[in-house]
Structure 1
Amino acid sequence: MGIEIGASWLEIRDDEGKLIRREHFPSKKTAYEKGYSAISESLHNGLGHLLSVASNSLEFNQTYFRVLISHLIDLLPYSRHFENTMTVLTRAIEGLSEKHGFGSQNLMDYLPAEYQQRVKEVLMEAKNKVEKIMRQAQKENLIEASTTLRRIGNRIENANNKDGDFGLKVIELLRFYKLPDSEIMEKHYSEINGGSRNWASFLSQIRNAPIHTGYFEMENGTYESGEIIKTQDHLHDILIRIALKTLGYEGEYQPRVIDHLTDGRTVNWVTKESTVTDLGYKRNYS
C-alpha cells in the first residue's frame, strides 16, 4: 500500500543489464510526501508474505478491492484536510457496504419484537392524524397543501423501512468481518455525555458534515478536532485490517491509531477486552 510516483523516462537494457536506449516521454508530475506506512519492511518484515497472499487471493483482482486499495492509498498523507479525509473514508466504507449488501438497512431489524409493534402503532397513529389534516385541506381546496400532507403521511408510514445510515453501515461491516470495535465504542459512548449519543450516530454525523455542509464546525464546539482525528484514524485502521484479512495476511502491521512505532500488531489485535485508549482515543473530549 504505497505512494504513487511518476517517471520521466524508460530505460531499455539487454540481458546483461547494459543500456540500449532511453525513451523520454511526458509524465504526470506526482508530488511525493512521506506518510503513514501500514507495513514497514524494517519493522514488520511482512512485504514478502503480503505479496504472496495477494498473488493467491481471489479477491485481489476484484474491482471493489482494487478501489478499496486506491482509497487507502489516498488516505496515506498526513497533510490531508479533515473534510477530504472523511470524504475518502466515506467512499471506501460505502463501497464495501454495497459490495456486501449493507447499502441500506431495515430499521425494524434492529428492534426487539415488542418495540417493533409499539413503533408501528405510533407511526400509524401519526399517519392517521396527518391524513385528517390533509382531508381538511382538501375541503378548503388547498391543493398544494393537501398534496404535501399526503407525501408527509406516506413518509411517516414508511419511516420504519430502509435507511442508508452511514454509522449502521460501519456496524454491519464490523460484524461481517468479525471485528469487535463497535462493541468497544458503543460501550464508551454510552458512558460519556450521559449516553445522549451513540457511536453509530456520531459516525453518521461526521460523514454528513463535509458532504452536506462542506466543513466541520469547530468554532462553536459542535466538533472537537482531537475526536475527529482519532475517529478518522480508527476508521482508516478498520479498513486496513479488512483489506489485510481479505488477502489472508497473517503478519504484522503498524496500526494508525497508535502514535508511536511498535514492533507490529496482527490484524486481530483488537479484542473485546480492548479499550478506547487502546484504539487511540481519550476517555473524553471537551
Structure 2
Amino acid sequence: MQGVGLLALELRFKGVTMAISSINWLEDNIKYAGEGRAEFANPRVILEGPVIIAFNESGESEIQMEFRNISGCVEPNILELLNRNVSTEEYFRILRFSKQIEANQCTKLEVVTPNGTFSSIGINIKHYIPNYLNNVLNFFVLTSQFEVHDKEAKYWVLPLYNLITNFYRYPREWTHPLSISSKHVGIIFKFNCSTCFIEPLEDYEVRKDELTNFKKPKKITSIMVGELRSIPKDSESLDQQVPINFLELLGLAAGTEIGSPYIELRTAEGELVKRIHVEHNNPIYFKGHVAMDEFCGRGIGILLDNGQSLLHLGNSYMIATLKHLVRAGSRNLDIDEKLIHIFQALDGLCEIFDLKTQNLNQRINTSQQKQIKAILEKASRDISAIAVDDEQSRVIGEIANRTRTIPAGTARDFGLSLSDLLKLFDLADANIIEDYYQDSENRKSWIRFLSHCRGVEIHKGFLEFDGDEFDFTEINVIRAHLHDILFRLVFKMIHYDGTYRSPIQTLPKEANWVKPNTSPKMLGYH
C-alpha cells in the first residue's frame, strides 16, 4: 500500500517541541502528526484518520492521510474493499468512489496533534488519491496554520530567505529572550513603538556559502523578531503588526529577493503559540547590487525605522518598483534586461504620478502657440492641394485633416515624463546631463535619446551595438545613472536619508548626494 509504511513510521513522531531549549530554536524542516479530519462539500463526505504533515525549508508541503473512517454520501462498505484483492465489479466501485472524492471540493482539513491543532485556512485545498486501491489521500494546502492551545503570544517571528549582509555588533547590555546570535550581532530597528531585530542563524556562514555558490535557490539565513501590540484576532490585524512589506526593503538593501516561508507567534518565554504557513515572495537568490548594510552607516536599521510610517510602502506600485529596482542590479542579467527593468519601473512611477502625458502648450507662451497653430493650418491646406485625382484626394485629405486636428500640444514622451518626475522629486539630474549633452560634439538631447532607447528596448527587446546608433560604453553609463536615479526616487518616496552604495560609484554616499552643481563626471559621464 503506497505511503502506509512511511505513515506508520512517522506516527511515532510525538509532536513539536514548543519551548526554546537552545540557541538554535528555529525550525526549517517542520513536521506535524496526529488524527485528521477532511471535509468535502458536494456531496458532503468526511474522511478521518492519521495524518502526517511535513514542510521543507523551501516551504513546500507534503500532507498525507490514511483514512480509516468514511461518512456521508458514499457507497456503503467502500473502505472494506481497499487494500486487498478485489473483483472487477468491486474495482469499479472503488474507481467511482475515488473519482467522486477527487472531483469533490475539500473545504476543511484539521489535524489534532499532541501539542496543538493544524488546520487549513480558506477553501483552496487541492487533493488527489495516489493509488485508487489504497486508503491514502494526499493534500496540498496553500495557506495553513498550527496553533497551540492555552498560550498567549507576545512576539512575532519572520524567518528570512536569502538575506546576506553585514550585521551590527549589539551594545553589550542588549538582550532578548528570542535572540539566537551567540556572536551578539544583528540589526536593531523600531516598529510599532517597540524594539525589533534581525539576527543571522548560528550556521549563517554555511547557509551563505550554499546560496553564494548556487547550491540552493533559496535558504533561510536569519530571523526578524518583534513585539505584538495586541493579540491578533484575524489576518488583517496580524498584517498590521507584522511588517511583511519590509521584505522588499531588505531586498533593496541586500541586492537580491528576500522572502519568508511562515510567520510565528511566540510567548514571552519563547514558546510557540501559532505558526502560519504562507509563503511570501518565493524568492530565488541572485547576486545583485548591495546598496546598504550595517557597515554602511547602519543603513538597514535606518531604512526599517522609517518603514512603518511610509505612505507608499505596501502599495502594489511600490512593490513592483522595488522588485524592478532589485532585479535591475542582478549580475545574471545582461544590459538590455537590466534596462528593461529600469524603464518599466520609471514608466510605472510616471503613470502613478500622472506624468505619462505632457501638455506641451503649457511650456510655451501664447504667441508661440498661435504661430504653431497658423503653421499647422497652412500645412494642412498645402497638403490638400497636392492631390491629383479623387482617390488620392480622399487619402491626402485625411492626412491634411490630421495635421490640423491632432492636438499639437500633447505628447506621450518617456524622456519628458522622466524629466517631469525628477522635477517633482527635486532631483537635478535632467538639467545636469541635458546641458552636458548639448555641450558635447554631437549636440544631441539626452532626454530625446532616452526616449529612443526606451522605445527600442521595450518594443524590440535589445539595442544593437554593432552599428553607429548605440555605443555600449555610453549605454552602460546611462544604465548605471538611471539605476541610481531609481534608487534616489525610492529614497525620496520612503523618506530615507541615510547612506547607500550607488550603482555609479561603490563608495557610500548620502541619499541626496546629487546637487544642481554636481559635475556630469560624478554621475559617470566622461
For the aligned pair, the TM-score class normalised by the smaller chain equals 0.7 to 0.9
Q: 1:116 aligns with which of 369, 376, 380?
A: 369
The answer for the alignment partner of 1:278 in structure 2 is 522
Residues in 2 aligned to 1:147 and 1:84: alpha-carbon distance in whole angstroms = 45
Q: 2:461 aligns with which of 214, 236, 240?
A: 214
Shift of the 70–148 alpha-carbon distance from structure 1 to 2, 3 Å rule, reads: farther
The answer for the alignment partner of 1:249 in structure 2 is 496
3-state SS, counterpart of residue 521 of structure 2: coil
One-letter code of the match for 1:277?
K
The range that moved more, 54-63 or 90-99, is: 54-63
Q: 1:204 aligns with which of 451, 462, 465?
A: 451
The answer for the alignment partner of 1:141 in structure 2 is 390
The answer for the alignment partner of 2:423 in structure 1 is 175
Is 1:100 paired with 2:353? yes
How far did residue 153 of structure 1 move? 2.1
8 Å contact kept, 1:11–1:19: no
One-letter code of the match for 1:74?
R
Q: How does 1:1-286 map to 2 (within 5 A)?
A: 1=249, 2=251, 3-4=256-257, 31-133=284-386, 136=387, 140-142=389-391, 145-157=392-404, 158=406, 160-195=408-443, 197-258=444-505, 261-262=506-507, 264-282=508-526
When the two chains are superposed, the root-mean-square deviation of aligned CA atoms in Å is 2.9
8 Å contact kept, 2:287–2:332: no
Residues in 2 aligned to 1:212 and 1:99: alpha-carbon distance in whole angstroms = 21
3-state SS, counterpart of residue 399 of structure 2: helix
The runs of 4+ residues in structure 1 deviating greater than 4 Å are: 9-20, 22-31
8 Å contact kept, 1:49–1:251: yes
Shift of the 97–14 alpha-carbon distance from structure 1 to 2, 3 Å rule, reads: closer
Residue correspondences, number:
271
Residues in 2 aligned to 1:13 and 1:52: alpha-carbon distance in whole angstroms = 22
Shift of the 225–26 alpha-carbon distance from structure 1 to 2, 3 Å rule, reads: same
How far did residue 43 of structure 1 move? 1.9
How far did residue 17 of structure 1 move? 6.1
One-letter code of the match for 1:179?
L
8 Å contact kept, 2:289–2:326: no
8 Å contact kept, 1:34–1:77: yes
TM-score (norm 2): 0.47
8 Å contact kept, 2:259–2:279: no
Report the structure, 1 or 2, having the larger strand content.
Answer: 2
8 Å contact kept, 2:329–2:338: no
Report the structure, 1 or 2, having the larger helix content.
Answer: 1
The range that moved more, 92-101 or 149-158, is: 149-158
CA deviations over 1:187-207 (Å, ceiling 9, x no partner): 101111342x21110100110
Residues in 2 aligned to 1:64 and 1:13: alpha-carbon distance in whole angstroms = 30
Shift of the 33–156 alpha-carbon distance from structure 1 to 2, 3 Å rule, reads: same
How far did residue 231 of structure 1 move? 0.7
Residues in 2 aligned to 1:256 and 1:53: alpha-carbon distance in whole angstroms = 23
Residues in 1 aligned to 2:447 and 2:513: alpha-carbon distance in whole angstroms = 22
How far did residue 103 of structure 1 move? 1.0
Residues in 2 aligned to 1:23 and 1:101: alpha-carbon distance in whole angstroms = 39
TM-score (norm 1): 0.83
How far did residue 170 of structure 1 move? 0.8
The answer for the alignment partner of 2:218 in structure 1 is none
Residues in 2 aligned to 1:228 and 1:115: alpha-carbon distance in whole angstroms = 35
Residues in 2 aligned to 1:181 and 1:11: alpha-carbon distance in whole angstroms = 42
Shift of the 73–167 alpha-carbon distance from structure 1 to 2, 3 Å rule, reads: same
Shift of the 239–10 alpha-carbon distance from structure 1 to 2, 3 Å rule, reads: closer
How far did residue 44 of structure 1 move? 2.6
Residues in 2 aligned to 1:179 and 1:41: alpha-carbon distance in whole angstroms = 26
One-letter code of the match for 2:462?
Y
Residues in 2 aligned to 1:52 and 1:92: alpha-carbon distance in whole angstroms = 25
How far did residue 111 of structure 1 move? 2.8
One-letter code of the match for 1:237?
D
8 Å contact kept, 2:288–2:327: no
How far did residue 151 of structure 1 move? 3.4
Shift of the 95–132 alpha-carbon distance from structure 1 to 2, 3 Å rule, reads: same
8 Å contact kept, 1:106–1:160: no
Shift of the 28–194 alpha-carbon distance from structure 1 to 2, 3 Å rule, reads: closer
8 Å contact kept, 1:104–1:165: yes
How far did residue 251 of structure 1 move? 1.0
3-state SS, counterpart of residue 509 of structure 2: coil
How far did residue 110 of structure 1 move? 2.8
CA deviations over 1:208-267 (Å, ceiling 9, x no partner): 112233321211121111111111111111111111111111211111111xx32x2222
3-state SS, counterpart of residue 67 of structure 1: helix
How far did residue 270 of structure 1 move? 0.5
Residues in 1 aligned to 2:356 and 2:279: alpha-carbon distance in whole angstroms = 41
One-letter code of the match for 2:349?
L
CA deviations over 1:133-171 (Å, ceiling 9, x no partner): 3xx45xx331xx444323322332225132110100110
How far did residue 113 of structure 1 move? 3.7
One-letter code of the match for 2:314?
N
Residues in 2 aligned to 1:42 and 1:113: alpha-carbon distance in whole angstroms = 55
